[in-house]
Chain A
Amino acid sequence: NAGVTQTPKFQVLKTGQSMTLQCAQDMNHNSMYWYRQDPGMGLRLIYYSASEGTTDKGEVPNGYNVSRLNKREFSLRLESAAPSQTSVYFCASSPTGDYGYTFGSGTRLTVV
């Protein structure tokens, strides 16, 4: 039982390049989330998917797009990377109801 798997773990992009961060969960959770973590700012929600087939913007969606490919997979795309998007990105999932999230191991992204 792997939980939440994120790829890649590290990535360096040049300004203007695009990339997709992959996330998959094997716990049959309905909801999935993408957060970014910056020093002193905690975890901020980028996009979320309450259930398969739906996606919604979170607190900081600008510059990002998402796809809920199926119940297991939720990807985050940066179309034109900017230095301000340098951060650690965490994917998470949760079952329906008030239960805690399970986080992936994170992707450390640097945009130069």
Chain B
Amino acid sequence: GENVEQHPSTLSVQEGDSAVIKCTYSDSASNYFPWYKQELGKRPQLIIDIRSNVGEKKDQRIAVTLNKTAKHFSLHITETQPEDSAVYFCAASKGRNTGFQKLVFGTGTRLLVSP
């Protein structure tokens, strides 16, 4: 089955810096890659996703890139702010092929943005 590895496990940056979180997946049939943000004590919330027919997607200060050949995808956050501090999870699934999606999650990255 699918296996998703996520690095780093912890990332500390200064406010205004950029942050990059990387994930690799094992199943070449995976075609949907969402990212979730989980604040302390809260539920995971979808912040951005990318499908296998595109290489990059942006939404204001966040962007995701996908390299299907290398089977890795990354989350980029620019101009970080203290409110970006949270745990970020990547995930992968084969939604279109099976009619429904079963996400496999990475182990998470704790991002700390210091003022």
Contacts and interface: CB of A to CB of B under 8 A. Distances in A.
B96 A97 contact: yes
B45 interface: yes
A42 B107 contact: yes
B101 interface: yes
A98 B102 contact: no
Interface of B: 6, 9, 31-32, 34, 36, 42-46, 49, 51, 89, 93, 95-96, 98-108
Interface in A11-48: 30-31, 33, 35, 40-45, 48
Interface of A: 30-31, 33, 35, 40-45, 48, 50-51, 58, 90, 94, 96-106
B100 A45 contact: no
B44 A42 contact: no
Contact of A90 (B44, B93, B96): B44
B100 A96 contact: yes
A43 B100 contact: no
Contact of A42 (B98, B99, B105): B105
A38 to B, nearest CB: 10
Contacts of A99: 95, 101
Given A100-B49, A103-B45, A42 B108 contact: yes
Contact of B101 (A43, A97, A103): A97
A48 B44 CA distance: 18
A-B interface, 7 closest residue pairs, ranked by CB to CB distance from nearest: A98-B95, A98-B32, A100-B46, A42-B107, A103-B43, A43-B105, A50-B100
